Structure 1
């Protein structure tokens, strides 16, 4: 449980500072970045697999490139539900999604050792 809290606090800090360098994504406060981190974790766990299943034919026809669109959709869904988190365009949420995935993977290597 402590590793879970540490992981999401680190992700929230990186979100807070990372959005200063990604033009097109804005976050109001640290509390909002914590909510975004938790919401992105929830969306990647529950919403993204459903979108992948529904869009399998399109993903197959585009040789997997439609998964990039799904990543952007997930960021927009989170932005819709979290006040103080705004997203514009296609490339900024794509970069944001890649950054979160990379960070989550690296933190998982170090914090999820049991």
Structure 2
């Protein structure tokens, strides 16, 4: 359940970034759109990209964040924005191997601004949505 909520939050954050940034788009869902319709195809496209983004964040981001810790400390945490932009760029590259493609025009402006938008939207949605894990209390 937690994975599903996190995937939906990532999909909404990526959709917000794609709406706000002209250089970020999702394409290649033409066959899917003709099979199930435009609206559901768009939702499925964002969910597929969100799953790829979640896998990248789960497996690659911890390694990159650990390696870049000295640089993140030197920049007082601002390099973490670049790490997030790298994860979006990696998601765009990995999505080229799927029928649904995330396109990023330029790394510096598009990916960095997308990383900021995704972080803010994910934080707000994560704050608004209740945590699905039950709180554990000390049993006596």
**Per the shorter chain, which TM-score range?**
0.7 to 0.9
Deviation at 1:17, TM superposition (A): 5.6
> Which protein has the larger Cα radius of gyration, Structure 1 or Structure 2?
2
Q: Secondary structure at the match of 2:130?
A: helix
Check the 8 A contact 1:36/1:82 in 2, yes or no: yes
Gaps of 5+ in 1: none
Deviation at 1:30, TM superposition (A): 3.1
Number of matched pairs: 112
Q: Distance in 2 between matches of 1:51 and 1:34?
A: 24
Q: Distance in 2 between matches of 1:69 and 1:26?
A: 20
CA gap 1:59/1:110 in 2 versus in 1, 3 angstroms: same
Q: Determine whether 1:88 maps to 2:105.
A: yes
Deviation at 1:12, TM superposition (A): 2.7
TM-score by length of 2: 0.64
Gaps of 5+ in 2: 28-41, 135-140
RMSD: 2.5
